Amino acid sequence: MFRRLWPAAVATAAFAALAHAALVAVAARSFGLELAYIAVLSFVVALVVALIGGAVLLAIVGVLRLGLTSSLLLFLIAIQAVAIWLEFYFFELQNGWADISWQYGLISVPASLVAWHQSVFYIHKRA
């Protein structure tokens, strides 16, 4: 299962970087070199998180022998929790849950699906 870690992490990070840059472009109503910087930084952060988190998630799926539905739920819940934690960590939110940006859900939910599809589902389909 770990053979799919790198391709799944790269696909997830690429999606997250493009989605984040697109959301920033829509919010700022402009395109420019800053968008490229945002995309590259987002890709690097997402790749590190996806490699570490993906290894943990794949280990849990393997040890517990989770099926497709339960592994999908694990990916969705775990990646949402990590996204919320990163938002609190990087942006030092003061008002708790009220400060959580719904825009990150637009990135993290599909990113969860990409990560799961490129790893667990891909392996299940090939087996």
pLDDT digits (tens, 9 = 90+) for 99-110: 667 777 788 899
Predicted confidence band at 1 (pLDDT cuts at 50, 70, 90)?
low
CB 38 within 8 A of CB 22: no
Which positions ≥6 away from 59 have C-beta within 8 Å? none
Predicted confidence band at 93 (pLDDT cuts at 50, 70, 90)?
low
Which is more confident, 31 or 8?
Answer: 8
Distance between CA 44 and CA 108 in Å, rounded?
A: 15
Annotated domain spans of the chain = 2-126
pTM metric for this prediction: 0.85
